[in-house]
Chain A
Amino acid sequence: MTRARAAVSAPSAVWWGVAVLLPLAFLGVFFAWPAVTLVARGFLAEGGGVDLGGLRDVLGNPRTWRLVGTTLAQATAGSAASVLLGLPVAYLLYRTRFPGRGLLRGLVTVPFVLPTVVVGVAFRALFQTGGLLGWAHLDGTFVAVVVALVFFNVSVVVRTVGGLWERLDPRAEQAARALGASPARAFRTVTLPALSPALASAAAVVFLFCATAFGVVLVLGGLGYGTVETEIYRRTTQFLDLRTAAVLSILQLLVVTLALWVAGRARARRERALHLEHEDVAAHRWSVRSVPDVAAAVATSVVVGGLVVLPLAGLVGRSFRGPDGAWGLANYRALGTTGGRNALAVTVWEALANSVRTALVATVIAVVVGGLVALVVSRRPRARVARRAVGLLDAVVMLPLGVSAVTVGFGFLITLDRPLGLDVDLRTSGLLVPIAQAVVAVPLVVRTVLPVLRAIDPRLRQAASVLGAAPGRVLRDVDLPIALRSLGLAIGFAFAVSLGEFGATAFLARPDSATLPVVIFRLIGRPGAENYGMALAASVVLAVLTAVVMMLAERLRGDRASGAAGGEF
């Protein structure tokens, strides 16, 4: 017996070691090292030695605390609204079946990848005097910023929560109903607690996105509206004031760590093994007689219609108006050119091909790294130290979402000239772009896959082991089939994030291999109806591509995992 166990555990320890070390090495080299090195520069005195004067100056400045306050308020409001509005949508899209569901699922994800410049301009057009929502006088207000943040992030809630919800055994809720509980009560006491790990996960991710939002805050917040993130950007790119930027980065990291800790606590308290069904078995045909179904449909129409379709429709509509003001496909025909007066080095279609190539590489990296992390973190080791370590890993992979892109970007410049002592300059390599995008996508992959993996009853794995299955076999036969569904989603998410990523890409891209968001930014940065129209048409192309990718990701896993039952229509 002892001998047998040793034979099993030695190689398995190696595998687990690899599964832990690979993600750590990746994030260490491409995230922690650059970010820490740059922040450390902010604390170096002119003639060498440590200078902590910046700490005193920045922390003693009332403006700093105003920025922190705005950041917290904005992130709290943004994530609360995203969760509240995302919940009914998640129910409708993952617990009920109706024609066009796949299409709607794809549509909801579109905002997430749209370039912020384009969204900012689209929202400004809605809010300004004379715009569709001009009467509300939201222009340049806190509310305008929060609305735009919810626009971007509601899909994170819908996807993350929906992914778990659709696999939740409906019998517990049915039992509660049979025992006389009202639908509301059954939802509150049975379903909501079961969903809370995914809810906490989603809320934490959205909080991070909102706290570190940048472009949309600049465009919609107007003058004097600043957050810690915009201030780090300003201090770094305008003033090269690394001293202040370093202190602010640390402040931001504290806020983020606190948010993660709270979310982790919320998860840990609620998280337990759930009885999971095969996807879609738990969903029922949408019924006009069911109160929750109708309510969810109404709520979804309002959320999706008002928050997603309205701003998008403005964008799409305008994209069909040519430079001469006539309606037609002129802007789309122009995508094969390099723009009015040669605004671009490549055509939009070439940029699209670059985007897809880059996104493929980024997705592979993000899914390998994120998948390994999710696998490791989903285990509950018995040893206290190991449990701590797993918890730490869980938190560490989230940090890239909480650190300013400009910090990491400038960090790349001062660290990756000879990474690991190798004689290569990674900074100008085309590969740094997908790597940077993968760093952003890894936390999303982890947060998408993890709730499902965690919800697997460990007794299932134990039973398999007892019956003689090797660890690899347990993985394949127990974890994999269940994880596949969310893995499909994770692949879609990673791909979508990479397609839409702008900050790191603009910082590192080579002009001849510009991606779609870079090209859109460039087009909209030139005067002329021709270029503006092209920018909008290119944004629509990006949006459609994203929607298609997300729908494919769902179809693919649906077919694979549930066979005949996978048909959605």
Chain B
Amino acid sequence: MTAKSLRARAAAVVAVGLLPALAACSSGTPSGGASPSGGDTVTLVTHDSWAVSDDVIAKFEQESGFTVKQVAMGDAGTLANQVVLTQGSPVGDLVFGIDNTFASRVIDAGALEPHVPAGLAESATPLVLGDGALIPIDLGDVCVNTDVAWFQERGLAEPETLEDLAKPEFKDLMVALNPASSSPGMAFMLATIGAFGDDGFGGQGWTGYWEALKANGLKVADSWEDGYYTEFSGAGEGGTRPIVVSYSTSPAFTVTDDGTATTTRALLGTCFRQVEFAGVLAGAQNPEGARALLDFLVSQPFQADIPGQMYMYPADSSVELPAEWTQFAPLSDAPFEVDPADIAANRDAWLDQWTAAVGG
């Protein structure tokens, strides 16, 4: 056999051997060795905004004896839908990152196994959904933000309420986000639904409100990135509009160099509260590990890690917050609310109504 045919044969063997080899690699259990039931590894499925300090996870691993494997599944919508799709054969053991706009879809699909952690904080208990299927971990507000300097330079008063935004003095100044392609966009649409329902805003309802915004020169961006960085003047990237839909925490990112003030402001009377939940996946390989990890997510060490890592508020309100948060990024006292069951029932219809009122 010549050298070259040996080489060719070796190449073919490598090629044909690819599939089983891949399979072998992929089983990648940690060196501790895993029992067939899932053993020492607990797999946490999240959206791609998940973040946690290494030492916090290490603390859990040390105390519980489980090794945490993390899998990210795209944005919140993709995550929720993949949980529904894989119902019965879940990708992991515990899911984190289902929010209140997708919660009912996941619960109704029967994709979760109820488990209420014993240590759940008092402030979080009323937020539990589906008899313990979804446990609140953190929360945040989506609110209209303004470029403070823009209004000061022109000696103009800033808007404060949703109604203000439809007034002529704020014509051509606002950027909203498309709720069909952006999750803060969806949250803000829900704020208007919570605020006006079908007959608020002088009897015109929430769709009438959006028509009024449109008549007032509203611009709609398809993603938060595009709205904030391209259109919003407060981001310092050349945008021209001083009013944008963003988060109540955004002003903490625009703090001046001396740290005494921020150049943007969230209008706390225009907010919708997003709550992010975790839940044990039905059919999990390692339900015991999932429950242990869930217990850990509501405990003090993890809750205290949330503001610095995920930039959300911990669901446990007794956790101490970073000083600049209370100063620059407070939560709204009275966010608008919509029942998750109503969201599940009407989500698609509302999106269609929004599209009819604003675009397309």
| B254 A18 Cβ-Cβ under 8 A | no
Interface size on B, residues (CB 8 A): 78
| B1-33 at interface with A (beta carbon < 8 Å) | 4-5, 8, 11-12, 14-16, 18-19, 22-28
Which of A86-94, A155-163, A424-432, A453-461 lies at the interface with chain B?
Answer: A424-432
| A121 B8 Cβ-Cβ under 8 A | no
**CB-defined interface of B69-101 with A at 8 Å, one 1/0 digit per residue?**
111111101100110111001011000000000
Q: Among the listed A22, A428, A473, A512, which residue makes an inter-chain contact with B43, where contact means beta carbons less than 8 Å apart?
A: A428
**CB-defined interface of A381-422 with B at 8 Å, one 1/0 digit per residue?**
000000000000000000000000010011001100101101
| B26 A218 Cβ-Cβ under 8 A | no
Q: Return B24 CB to nearest CB of chain A, in Å.
A: 8
| B250 A121 Cβ-Cβ under 8 A | no
| B48 A518 Cβ-Cβ under 8 A | yes
Complex: chain B residue closest to A127, CB-CB: B230
Known: A222-B222, A341-B308, A413-B82. A527 touches B19 (CB 8 A): no
Q: Among the listed B16, B19, B73, B311, which residue makes an inter-chain contact with A29, where contact means beta carbons less than 8 Å apart?
A: B19
Q: Is B331 an interface residue (CB 8 A)?
A: no
| A237 B16 Cβ-Cβ under 8 A | no
Q: Which residues of chain B are near A530, meaning CB under 8 Å?
A: 253
Q: Return B219 CB to nearest CB of chain A, in Å.
A: 9
Q: Which residues of chain A are near B226, meaning CB under 8 Å?
A: 120-121, 124, 219
| A325 B236 Cβ-Cβ under 8 A | yes
Which of A168-176, A190-198, A247-255, A502-510 lies at the interface with chain B?
Answer: A502-510
Interface size on A, residues (CB 8 A): 83
**CB-defined interface of A540-561 with B at 8 Å, one 1/0 digit per residue?**
0000000000000000000000
Complex: chain A residue closest to B182, CB-CB: A218
| A to B CB contacts below 8 Å, 10 in the list | A22-B16, A121-B226, A237-B74, A342-B308, A420-B23, A424-B23, A472-B5, A511-B72, A527-B235, A530-B253
Query: Top 7 closest A-B pairs, CB basis?
Result: A429-B26, A528-B253, A223-B359, A527-B253, A224-B360, A124-B230, A527-B250
| Additional A-B contacts beyond A222-B222, A240-B105, A473-B4 (8; CB < 8 A) | A22-B16, A129-B240, A342-B309, A409-B74, A410-B85, A472-B5, A510-B72, A511-B50
Give residues in B with beta carbon < 8 Å to A. 4-5, 8, 11-12, 14-16, 18-19, 22-28, 43, 46, 48-53, 69-75, 77-78, 81-82, 84-86, 89, 91-92, 105, 178, 180-181, 220, 222-226, 228-231, 235-240, 246-247, 250, 253-254, 257, 308-309, 311, 347-348, 351, 355, 358-360
Give residues in A with beta carbon < 8 Å to B. 15, 18, 22, 25-26, 29, 117, 120-121, 124-125, 128-131, 218-219, 221-224, 234, 236-241, 318, 324-325, 340-345, 365, 368, 372, 406, 409-410, 413-414, 417, 419-420, 422-432, 435, 472-473, 476, 506-512, 514, 518, 521-522, 524-532
